[in-house]
């Protein structure tokens, strides 16, 4: 398996533009997570899906952020409109259902810069 695949790897956009980040989880994994990583705040969970259903979106910073998982093999995180403070590395991770030692596998991340 190729692992968790994210696209694009890098994105530079102007303030006010819409940004869409994409993720393909590992086949067979039931849970999908979107994280944001910054120097100041570390790795923050934005939203967590299980079997394509959003379970916890309490980490989504505000209404400008939205996430969807239309099927088991694809998820998007959209920011509209984008702001400079959204600049960060966004990671997607997936894990199978299993015991409490279940590992989350991370994609390579999307480095977003909003200017």
Partner 1 sequence: QKEVEQNSGPLSVPEGAIASLNCTYSDRGSQSFFWYRQYSGKSPELIMFIYSNGDKEDGRFTAQLNKASQYVSLLIRDSQPSDSATYLCAVNSGAGSYQLTFGKGTKLSVIP
Q: Does 50 bind partner 1 (CB under 8 A)?
A: yes
- Residues 107, 4: contact at Cβ < 8 Å? yes
Q: State which of positions 57-86 bind partner 1 (CB under 8 A).
A: none
For residues 18 to 37, the per-residue mask of contacts with partner 1, x marking binding by CB under 8 A and - elsewhere, is -------------x-x-x--
Strands 88-95 and 31-38: antiparallel
Is the CB of 70 or the CB of 99 nearer to partner 1?
99
* Residue 74, beta-bridge partner list: 71
Is the CB of 54 or the CB of 81 nearer to partner 1?
54
Distance separating alpha carbons of residues 11 and 108, to the nearest angstrom: 13
Distance separating alpha carbons of residues 67 and 52, to the nearest angstrom: 11
Within a 10 A sphere around the Cβ of 3, how many other Cβ atoms? 13
Using CB under 8 A, count the residues that bind partner 1.
Answer: 24
Interface residue with partner 1 among 18, 97, 113, 115 (CB under 8 A) is: 97
Residues that bind partner 1 (CB under 8 A): 31, 33, 35, 41-45, 48, 50, 55-56, 91, 95, 97, 100-104, 106-109
């Amino acid at each position: 398996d190729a692992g968790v695949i994210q696209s694009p790897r890098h994105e530079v956009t102007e303030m006010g533009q819409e940004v869409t980040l994409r993720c393909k989880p590992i086949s067979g994994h039931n849970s999908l997570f979107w994280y944001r990583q910054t120097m100041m705040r570390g790795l923050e969970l934005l939203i967590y899906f299980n079997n394509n259903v959003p379970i916890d979106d309490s980490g989504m910073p505000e209404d400008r952020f939205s996430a969807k998982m239309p099927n088991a093999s694809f998820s998007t995180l959209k920011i509209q409109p984008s702001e400079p403070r959204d600049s960060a590395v966004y990671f997607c991770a997936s894990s199978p259902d299993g015991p409490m030692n279940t590992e989350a596998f991370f994609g390579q991340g999307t480095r977003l810069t909003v200017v």
